[in-house]
Amino acid sequence: MSSSPHAATPEPAGEAPALPAARGRGLTKVFGEGDTRVVALDSIDVDFERGRFTAIMGPSGSGKSTLMHCMAGLDSVSEGSAFIGETDLSSLDDKKLTVLRRDQVGFVFQAFNLLPTLTALENITLPMDIAGRKPDQAWLDVVIDTVGLRPRLAHRPSELSGGQQQRVACARALAGRPEIVFADEPTGNLDSRSGADVLGFLRQSVHDMGQTVVMVTHDPLAAGYADRVLFLADGRIVDEMLAPTADRVLERMKAFDPETSAAGTH
């Protein structure tokens, strides 16, 4: 799997640009009141274009996970609006929001979040099974073969390595063809080789399948797989890097936190 392709699919000549897969306008998130008041997001405007891989980076407490959770409908905003496609998440009640997350959003977490009693295949198709929908078999086959799991489909999580479990989680996130996949430190529990496998798959899903991926990471090596990196500090987007490399990201991160230089060495 290659980590180098950064090319996004060009817009056909004469056509209006596609609506972003997700976007935020004036996103503000405040926790606590009075002396304990913390502004986690400070009036952020952001677009996540279709068919692109965006990494979100920043020092601890910069708001990167809060931004992802608000954009994914896992947390509400204090002010502003988050959209998935044309849908304003703040306009949905809890039931409709649950359906939107299930049908239009894919999630990959650091902890894998697989059900131990289910096989790899059953974990992959679980969201669709819950929704009462049959998988698109042709697409499911593409996802399974792209992630390289076909020989392991009958195995339960305890019979898989950490890297294989995370690839099951990635396949689950992609199997329903969501508008957007949010990945929160997806390689945080993996060794470097397994992490590279997972990142290569996410990169490939964008490049070959046109998937949209947004990943929170602290790792410059992981960010090097993305098409662009957004840098957060104190709840604001303070910089953006296109076609990033691990070395360029590491240099940029040093400006936030000198200790970051150690993060790029392992």
Q: pLDDT tens digit string along 63-72?
A: 999 999 999 9
Cα distances from 195 to residues 212, 241, 244, in angstroms, run 19, 22, 18
Predicted confidence at residue 112, as pLDDT, reads 86
Computed over its alpha carbons, how large is the radius of gyration of the chain?
A: 18
The model's pTM:
0.86
Q: Residue 95 has which token pair?
A: 């039931």
Greater model confidence, 133 or 26: 26
Q: pLDDT tens digit string along 106-116?
A: 999 888 899 99
Q: Residue 260 pLDDT more than 50?
A: no
Q: pLDDT tens digit string along 196-248?
A: 988 998 998 999 888 999 999 999 999 999 999 999 999 999 999 999 999 99
Q: Work out the percent of the chain whose per-residue pLDDT is above 70.
A: 90
User: How confident is residue 17, by pLDDT bands cut at 50, 70 and 90?
Assistant: low
What are the domain boundaries of the chain?
51-74+103-263
Q: Residue 147 pLDDT more than 90?
A: no
User: How confident is residue 257, by pLDDT bands cut at 50, 70 and 90?
Assistant: low
**Mean pLDDT across 23-35:** 94
- The second-level CATH assignment, the architecture, of 51-74+103-263 is 3-Layer(aba) Sandwich (3.40)
Q: Which of 57, 173, 164, 165 is nearest to 126 (CA)?
A: 173
Q: Residue 258 pLDDT more than 70?
A: no
Q: In which residue are the tokens 């929908």 written?
A: 133
